[in-house]
Chain A
């Protein structure tokens, strides 16, 4: 009987770095202008990937209640799509966290080019171990990063402690559709393939994530179901891969086939065995004070 590997924070970060420390050009070939490797939001058919990614970035800013100049922690900042957006559009002071040195260097370069270098700092290392001052952020974003963290209690406690009182958390994640689906599909070959591709990745049902947020002390203040948007997002990525297959093959032989197989499986799973959600939570006993 196969089972998921038991990794600590450092081992998981090393494992995911196998994927995320590949050259940025490999990902520029299919992720679009924002280099956002997460779900987009399509307002209709015919919307471009770049516009749909920007729509998602605006939703994150809205859910976090950002209006300009706030201090934001971007956990799992990737190639910096959210950090650059919040610094560039809203003048936010952003600290990004990624274990990937390649991503950290990329974000610093892009920030300098966009003349927001003074607004963005990237901490390189596992979120669980990087030093961050408590109560020092107005908002924390964890966009599709929790899946790469083998244990959730410590990082969610840490996210809570880094927030000021009343500060908000935006957490989006791919989830199993139910606990029964997790039990059934977690160790299937397609799940093991995803694990191999990303180094470490594991989904939970939403109910589990919500209970973990409650245990960390958060008030749950919002939930968005974005499942319908991940299939189209991956379809765009796959078309990019097809367009740029030969140049991607030169950089990393075999990677395109691996990715395409994963996207095929994932696209089949949305709404059937998997869901994609965004949760907003608040460090506050009473939650948001404004009326719904």
Chain B
């Protein structure tokens, strides 16, 4: 596994944490390929709270346009990872 895959795995884990908390789902119900808006219990407020939780956890601010474009769980994880890479934050 390369370093960048490793960063992505961490980001994905954090995204699944945030979504499971905000949508009140078991973490193993949240697959990387699933569409965010089709996850059980998903609505725009809960998804925004998940984004907020991720931003606070890593002390980052994700790009607003990119957030709107993120369709899947994995998209959001990639966004978190690339923001962490750009800001030199915790990987």
Contact = CB atoms under 8 A, between A and B. Distances in A.
A135 B86 contact: yes
A217 interface: yes
B64 interface: yes
B41 interface: no
Interface in A134-170: 134-135, 165
B61 interface: yes
Contacts of A134: 86
The range of chain B's interface size is: under 10
A284 interface: yes
A285 B86 contact: no
Nearest to B64: A217
Contacts of A165: 60-61, 87
A284 B61 contact: yes
Chain B CB within 10 Å — which of A134, A135, A165 has the most?
A: A165
Interface string A272-292: 000000000000110000000
Interface in A190-219: 217
A93 B86 CA distance: 21
Interface in B57-80: 60-61, 64
A285 B61 contact: yes
Contacts of B60: 165
A288 to B, nearest CB: 15
A134 B82 CA distance: 13
A135 B87 contact: yes
Contacts of A284: 61
Contacts of B64: 217
A165 B55 CA distance: 12
A80 B41 CA distance: 57
B66 to A, nearest CB: 11
Interface in A103-135: 134-135
A165 to B, nearest CB: 6
A134 B55 CA distance: 20
A173 to B, nearest CB: 25
Nearest to A284: B61
Contacts of A135: 86-87
A93 B61 CA distance: 25
A135 B86 CA distance: 8
Interface string B33-71: 000000000000000000000010000110010000000
A134 B64 CA distance: 16
A135 B61 CA distance: 12
B24 to A, nearest CB: 25
A55 to B, nearest CB: 34
B61 to A, nearest CB: 6
Contacts of A285: 55, 61
A210 to B, nearest CB: 18
A138 to B, nearest CB: 14
B5 to A, nearest CB: 24
B79 to A, nearest CB: 15
10 contacts: A134-B86, A135-B86, A135-B87, A165-B60, A165-B61, A165-B87, A217-B64, A284-B61, A285-B55, A285-B61
Given A165-B61, A217-B64, A285-B61, 7 more contacts: A134-B86, A135-B86, A135-B87, A165-B60, A165-B87, A284-B61, A285-B55
Interface of A: 134-135, 165, 217, 284-285
Across the A-B interface, the 5 shortest Cβ-Cβ residue pairs: A285-B61, A165-B61, A217-B64, A135-B86, A165-B87
